[in-house]
Amino acid sequence: MFNKVILIGRLGHNAEAKTAQNNKEYVVLNIATQESWKNDKGEYETRTEWHRVYAWRNLSKFAKTLQKGQLITLEGTLRYREVEDEVEGTRFKHRVAEVHANSMKRLSKIEAADDPSDGAGNE
């Protein structure tokens, strides 16, 4: 069996550092990917998909340097998590998809000239 995700996309906002219940740091990223195609009328249509990405351990240090708008590539695994939400007084359960990154690389330059790294490998 095989579970591998490869994304190339842009950050929707700066990386968000968080701390798990076990006091381990992780970073949450929202990555936008885009695809275009011609419809039946010969006109181009575009769809943007947003992906929630988690970077743990050593990879989180690199992920914290990423900034909104940067183009990155990453490899990881797809995981699903059960969540419970309330909408207008009604509670319901559903599953959300998340990508847990194993490696990342910055594909576009950042504004800060003092950044020494341009990628992070496997954890």
pLDDT single digits (tens) 46-104: 999 999 999 998 899 999 999 999 999 999 999 999 999 888 889 999 999 999 999 99
Asked if the model's pLDDT at residue 109 lies above 80, the reply is no
Residue matched to tokens 């695994």: 77
Burial class (CB in 10 A: 0-12, 13-18, 19+), 56: middle
Query: Residue 73 CB: number of other CB atoms within 10 A?
Result: 15
Query: Residue 38 CB: number of other CB atoms within 10 A?
Result: 9
Judged by DSSP in three states, 15 sits in: coil
Fold category of 5-36+44-111 in CATH: OB fold (Dihydrolipoamide Acetyltransferase, E2P) (2.40.50)
